Chains A and B, each alone.
Chain A
Amino acid sequence: MKGLYVFLMLLGCNLALAQVDFENRIRSKVDCEDISYTALSLIPEFYYKNQKDSIIHFIRYWEEKCGESHFSKEIRVLYEIDREVFDEKEIDLQFFQHLLDQVDYIDYMVFLDSNSQVVNILSGAEKSEYYQISEFHLFTSLWAQEILDKHDFTACSDKRDILLAYAGRVDEFFESVGNNACETILNGFYISEVSRLKSLGEGEFGVLTGIWKPFNNAAALGVHPSLGFYFGHQKGKVLFDITMLMRFVKSPSSYTVVYEDSLISTRHFFGGYIGLDVGYELLRTPSTRVYLLGGIGYDGFEALESDPDVDDEPSRSIGSLNLNTGLGGKWFLNDSMGYLGLELRYNFVNYNNPGGTDFTGNALSVRLLVGILGNYTKQTGLRSLRHE
């Protein structure tokens, strides 16, 4: 009986403890979403009541409970710059990224402000969140502007650049951090990021059409249209492409080839080129690139048509090494990666046709290109840094 009492007492204690534990857990749970939501309205209230010390106490509480967020960092930095206690040791790559995120927020807000139809399709909760964040941004930008007006920052100052970003003066912010004469920390990160993005390679793919015109004795083959495709990669100023193209249409006049000791006259022509083309970029503007071109490959044509269904059908191909050089340009369409291109190449070829028509002579080729050349990460990254 005594044992039963002890057992019941222990069970009771355990249950009581379990209940208290549960309650504590429920009571101690902090909903960070609630704190953030409250912060968006409470902080501007503190500011307008001139209770700036309450702002920093609230930020400390917020960061202690929920960790650092974009908004808490923004307010803390504004407060520290305003009170002249901001430590520039805080500016590192993560801080630079924080400012780029700020610019993204502003761009997004500007987009939403000017596209009411997008706001209209948001749900009620999303819409209310948008209005609250929008008001918060308005408050932080006004505060940043006030600090800028109050303090006399020099033109090359990290603090001024930070405030420009917070004040929503995005173009001035990028102009300032992109100014290499200002050797600020933020300018260092800007230079590093631009140079990293610029060093990224670009992929290329496209189709081509054009004409091929041989000279001297090879002129007997006539002018032929060509059609093909290419793909490659540009790193720095050098562009490498693998190109494959076909040339068709019969020759305008007959020519002769030797087939099994017989001289055969034909007008048949089906040619092609497969090779490695290289371009060196001579000029670049946002919409144009001009290249010095070179290439090496196999160039040939089928003089007698082969028919796989007929065993003794005569077949004869004539080939040559093709070394080519020329100039080319690419014109990009509406700041996209798509372009139209034009290339002019002089082809050194030496078609060997023993016993038949002499084809000594080189050729000129003109190619019209339609393709894409670029790197999405590089292009969007440089654009977001407002770097042309």
Chain B
Amino acid sequence: MKKITIALIPILFVSCSWYGTHGRIYQNNRVSGKVILMFHNRISNGFEDHHNMLVGEVLDNLEEKNLLNIEYLDRQYNALTFKRSPYFAEYKQVAAGYLFVTAYSPNFSDVDLKMELYDSNFNLVLTAHHNTFWGNSYFFPPYIARTIKDAARGAVKAFDRKLIKLNH
């Protein structure tokens, strides 16, 4: 009986720490609360239409997978700058997690897109990445509108796969 008690104590601690880091995001294969989505991109180079297109594509793809309860915050932050912004204190009470999408164009037409999911304690849960330079092939150099679409689809697909794996 004593041995069982000794074995149960570390299991209890491990499960509590797992719940603390991940449990607030996933419950019953579903997201249990709001995940705040933010973008930090350098592909628009001042052209608003590309930023809006990127936001639209990522939101559409995430909605299609229907895994996260997304609330989009229309401000451009990455993890570091969000934590320093006044929004952090505001969202800390309500957010189950934070999803940061950073994107930039490594050349004239490709898009390198990275998604980082943090839990409510701001621990990095997973990252998914898609670079159209390596991940897609085009017969002719593509327009950036097309690579934005491909990068969003590729990154959300990888994100979805990792999220499912993490959940099981």
Contacts and interface: CB of A to CB of B under 8 A. Distances in A.
Contacts of B75: 89, 92
A188 B40 CA distance: 12
A162 B167 CA distance: 44
A93 interface: yes
Interface in A184-241: 184-185, 187-189, 191-192, 196, 200
Given A196-B42, A196-B104, A200-B106, A93 B86 contact: no
A97 interface: yes
Given A93-B40, A97-B46, A192-B40, A184 B76 contact: no
Nearest to B77: A92
A186 B78 CA distance: 12
A92 B51 CA distance: 14
B156 to A, nearest CB: 21
B81 interface: yes
A38 interface: no
B80 A191 contact: yes
Nearest to A195: B80
Chain B's interface size range is 10 to 19
A200 B76 CA distance: 21
Contacts of A92: 75-77, 81, 85
A183 B84 contact: yes
B81 A93 contact: yes
B87 interface: yes
A188 B81 contact: yes
Given A196-B42, A200-B106, A94 B84 contact: no
Interface string B83-102: 11111000000000000000
Contacts of A342: none
Given A196-B104, A200-B106, A93 B46 contact: no
B84 A89 contact: no
Nearest to A183: B84
B86 A188 contact: no
Contacts of B77: 92-93
Given A188-B81, A196-B104, A200-B106, A89 B87 contact: yes
A94 B80 contact: no
A189 B85 contact: no
A73 B76 CA distance: 17
A101 to B, nearest CB: 8
A186 B40 CA distance: 14
Contacts of A89: 75, 85-87
A188 B87 CA distance: 15
A91 interface: yes
A184 B80 CA distance: 10
A88 interface: yes
A94 B85 contact: no
Given A89-B75, A92-B75, A185 B81 contact: yes
B76 A192 contact: no
B85 A88 contact: yes
Contact of A94 (B76, B78, B86, B106): B76
A189 B42 CA distance: 12
A184 B84 CA distance: 7
Contacts of B41: 93
* Listed residue (A93, A97, A184, A200) with the most chain B CB atoms within 10 angstroms of its CB: A93
Contact of B84 (A87, A93, A188, A196): A188
A185 B41 CA distance: 16
Contacts of B81: 92-93, 185, 188-189, 192
Nearest to B105: A377
Nearest to A189: B81
Interface string A87-126: 1110111100100000000000000000000000000000
B21 to A, nearest CB: 24
A93 B87 CA distance: 14
* Listed residue (A88, A92, A196) with the most chain B CB atoms within 10 angstroms of its CB: A92
Nearest to B87: A89
Nearest to B81: A188
A88 B76 contact: no
A88 B86 contact: yes
Contacts of A200: 106
A93 B51 CA distance: 12
Given A92-B75, A94-B76, A191-B80, 11 more contacts: A88-B86, A89-B75, A93-B41, A93-B76, A93-B81, A185-B84, A188-B81, A189-B81, A192-B40, A192-B80, A192-B81
14 contacts: A87-B86, A89-B86, A92-B76, A92-B77, A93-B40, A93-B81, A94-B76, A97-B46, A183-B84, A184-B84, A187-B84, A189-B81, A192-B81, A196-B42
6 nearest A-B pairs in the assembled complex, by CB-CB distance: A93-B76, A188-B81, A92-B75, A92-B76, A188-B80, A185-B84
